[in-house]
Structure 1
Amino acid sequence: MTWQRIVNKALARHTGYQLKRQENPETRNRAQVRPPKEPEIDRLLVAPVFILCPVRSGSTLLRAMLDAHPELHAPHELHIRRLAVGFDTPLARQAMEELGHNQADLEHLLWDRVLHRELVRSGKRYLVDKTPANAFAHARLATCWPDARFIFLLRHPASIAASWYEASPDKRTRDEAVADALRYMKAVHHARQVLPGLTIRYEELTTDPERVTRSVCDFLNLGWKPDMLRYGRPDVVRKGLGDWKDKITSGSVQPGRELPPPEAVPEILKPMCKAWGYLPKARP
C-alpha cells in the first residue's frame, strides 16, 4: 500500500474525507463554468485584453510595445488558468454552494482578484495578458470576463515551429516541435472562429510596427503613442514567462526571419498555413 493510500484511508476513517488529485481546469465539467451572476460586484477587472497566440509568435514583442502605452499594463506571462481552487472538506464545498459558488466560480474570483491587484499596482487603466497557453482556455476567459477583448496574433506556422525547435533543441526533435507548436495553432484557430477580436500578424508587426500598433489602439479605443515604438528592454525576459532571446532584449523592433518557400513547409502544417493565408488555398 502506497503512502498516499495509507493517508487517504486514515483520513477517510477519521474525517470522512479523501485526498484527490487536483482537477485540471480545462477538463472540469463544463456545466460548472458560468458567467458572473452579479458582474458589478463579482468582477473588479474591467475590459481586460488577452493576446491569444501560439508559442514563438512575437507575443513578448507585442506585449512590450503595449506596455509602453500609458493606459496599458502588459506584464510577463501570468498563467492564471493554472491557478486552481479546491475544497479540503465536503463542508467547505457545501458552505460555498450555499453562497452560490461552485469551484469554477471561486477560481474566476481568484483570477480576477490577482489580475486586478496587478493592474492597481501599475497605476494604469487596462490589463493585457499574453500567455500563449491561454488559447487552450479561451472559452473560460470569455466566460469569466464577459467584457474581455481579444487580440489574435498570427505568424507563419513554419516559422513558429522552427523557432519553437530552436528555443529548446535539446528537449525536442524538429518533428516534435512541429507537432507541439501545432497544438497551440489549432487552439488559436478555434478561438478565432468563436470569439470576436482583432487579428494581427507578426510579419506586419515587425515590418510596419506603427500601422499595426495604431490598429491595436483603434481596436481598444485608445490614442496611439509614439513610445510604443521605443519600448525598451522588457522588465521580465525569462524562459517560461516570455521570450528571452537576443531580439527581444535589444529593446527595439527587429526584422523577422524570411518566410519559408512553400516546398519547405512541413506537410502537417500546410492546412494551417492555408487557413491563415500563408499558402494559397486549392481551387475547387
Structure 2
Amino acid sequence: MSLKRSLNRALAATTGLQVRKAPRPSAPPPPPAAPVYHEPAAEDRLLRRPVFVISSIRSGSTLLRMMLDTHSRLRAPHELHISRLEVGYGSSVSEYAMQNLGLERGDLEHLLWDRVLHRELVRSGKDFIVEKTPGNVFCHERIRDSWPDARFLVLLRHPESIARSWHESDPAKRPYEKAVTDVLRHVEAVDRARETLDDACTVRYEDITADPGRELRRLCRFLGLDYEPGMVDYGRKGDPELKRGLGDWRANIRTGTVQPGRALPGSGEVHPALLPYCDSWGYTS
C-alpha cells in the first residue's frame, strides 16, 4: 500500500480528512487583445473639438484645469479617467449583433467616452470640454483617432521637479528612487507624445507660475478664444471640488491663486535617468 493511501486511511479514521494532491498552478491568462475600432463618422460624435491636456503626473495639470475652467466657454472638470472605461459583451450574440452594426468593442468604448464627456459639457452650459487626466499621455493616439478634431495642450515641467513632488506627496510609500522610476514612465510617454502631436500647443508649468496671464493669453489664442482676466484667480476651493484621486487636492491648489513654483534643480541635482529629458525639453541644470 502506498504511503499516501495509508495516510489517507489513518486521517479518515480519526478526522474524516484526506490528503489530496495539490492542483498544478494554472498558467496566467493572456493579456486582453487591444480593442479594434474604426475611424468615426461625423454623426458618431456628440463632442466637437474637445481639448485634452497631455502631461506627466505632478506637472501642474490641476492648476491649469482650474484656470481654464473659469473661462466662460471652457468646462474643465476633475480627472475623468475615461480611457479606463471599458465595454464588455454579455454574450456572443450581443457581440455578433454589434459587429453587424459595424461596431467593434473599441467603437463602443469611444461612443461611451464621447457620451460621458458630452453629458458633462451639456450640464455646464459651456462650449468646449477640457480633459486633463495624466493617463491621457498613454493613449493620446487613440484619443486622436476617436476625435479627429481634438486639440491638445502638452504641459511640461522640469523632470526632476516632477520626481521630487511625486516623492514628497507620500515619502513613506514612494522613496525617491521609486518616485523617479514612476515618473520616468510618464516622462518618456510625454516625450513620445510631443513627437506625435506636432500640432499641439506646449506650455511649461514654470512659465504658468511665473506669468500666468501671459501663458493663458497664449493658450486662449491657440484655442480660438478671447482671454478672460478672471482666469488667473480661479477662487478658493474646498473639499467638494478637490478630491484625492481626481487631481491635486493640497493646500496650494485650494488657495484659488497661482502660487510660486519651486526653484529649479541646480547642477548635479538631477537624477541621471532624467537628464536626457531635461535636455530634450530645454531645461538646463
Query: Which of the five TM-score ranges fits, normalised by the shorter chain?
Result: 0.7 to 0.9
Match for residue 248 of structure 1? Answer: 253
Q: After alignment, is 125-134 or 187-196 more displaced?
A: 187-196
**Kept after mapping to 1: 8 A contact 2:56/2:183:** yes
Match for residue 241 of structure 2? Answer: 236
TM-score (norm 2): 0.87
List structure 1 runs of 4+ shifted beyond 3 angstroms: 20-23
Residue 175 (structure 2) pairs with residue 159 (structure 1): no
Residues 103 and 22 of structure 1: CA distance in aligned 2, closer, same or farther (over 3 Å): farther
Higher alpha-carbon Rg: 2
Corresponding residue SS for 2:49: coil
Match for residue 8 of structure 1? Answer: none
Residues 98 and 53 of structure 1: CA distance in aligned 2, closer, same or farther (over 3 Å): same
TM-score (norm 1): 0.87
Match for residue 217 of structure 1? Answer: 220
Residue from 144, 147, 152 that aligns with 1:145: 147
- Cα offset, 1:240, TM superposition: 1.2
The 5-angstrom pairing of residues 102-251 of structure 1 reads 102-195=104-197, 196-234=199-237, 236-251=241-256
Write the letter of the residue equivalent to 1:199: T
Looking at structure 2, the residues matched to 146 and 93 of structure 1 have their Cα atoms a distance apart, in angstroms, of 26
Looking at structure 2, the residues matched to 34 and 205 of structure 1 have their Cα atoms a distance apart, in angstroms, of 38
**Kept after mapping to 1: 8 A contact 2:37/2:103:** no
Residue from 243, 268, 277 that aligns with 2:273: 268
Write the letter of the residue equivalent to 1:209: P
* Residue deviations 1:45-64 (CA, integer Å, cap 9, x gap): 01000010001101100000
The 5-angstrom pairing of residues 6-45 of structure 1 reads 23=32, 28=34, 32-36=36-40, 38-39=41-42, 41-45=43-47
**Kept after mapping to 2: 8 A contact 1:53/1:152:** yes
Looking at structure 2, the residues matched to 274 and 203 of structure 1 have their Cα atoms a distance apart, in angstroms, of 16
Looking at structure 2, the residues matched to 22 and 74 of structure 1 have their Cα atoms a distance apart, in angstroms, of 33
Residues 152 and 134 of structure 1: CA distance in aligned 2, closer, same or farther (over 3 Å): same
Looking at structure 1, the residues matched to 39 and 145 of structure 2 have their Cα atoms a distance apart, in angstroms, of 5
Looking at structure 2, the residues matched to 254 and 278 of structure 1 have their Cα atoms a distance apart, in angstroms, of 21
- Cα offset, 1:76, TM superposition: 0.2
- Cα offset, 1:233, TM superposition: 2.9
Corresponding residue SS for 1:264: coil
Match for residue 83 of structure 1? Answer: 85
Residues 72 and 22 of structure 1: CA distance in aligned 2, closer, same or farther (over 3 Å): farther
* Residue deviations 1:150-191 (CA, integer Å, cap 9, x gap): 000000000000000111112121101011011111111111
Corresponding residue SS for 1:262: coil
Corresponding residue SS for 2:172: coil
Looking at structure 2, the residues matched to 136 and 91 of structure 1 have their Cα atoms a distance apart, in angstroms, of 32
* Residue deviations 1:241-269 (CA, integer Å, cap 9, x gap): 01011110111000000001120000010
CA RMSD of aligned residues (A): 1.8
Q: How many residues align?
A: 257
Match for residue 101 of structure 2? Answer: 99
- Cα offset, 1:22, TM superposition: 8.9
* Residue deviations 1:20-40 (CA, integer Å, cap 9, x gap): 9994xxx615xx13320x21x
Q: Any unmatched runs of 5+ in structure 2? A: 1-21
Looking at structure 2, the residues matched to 109 and 256 of structure 1 have their Cα atoms a distance apart, in angstroms, of 39
**Kept after mapping to 2: 8 A contact 1:33/1:140:** no
> Could you tell me the percent identity over the aligned residues?
52
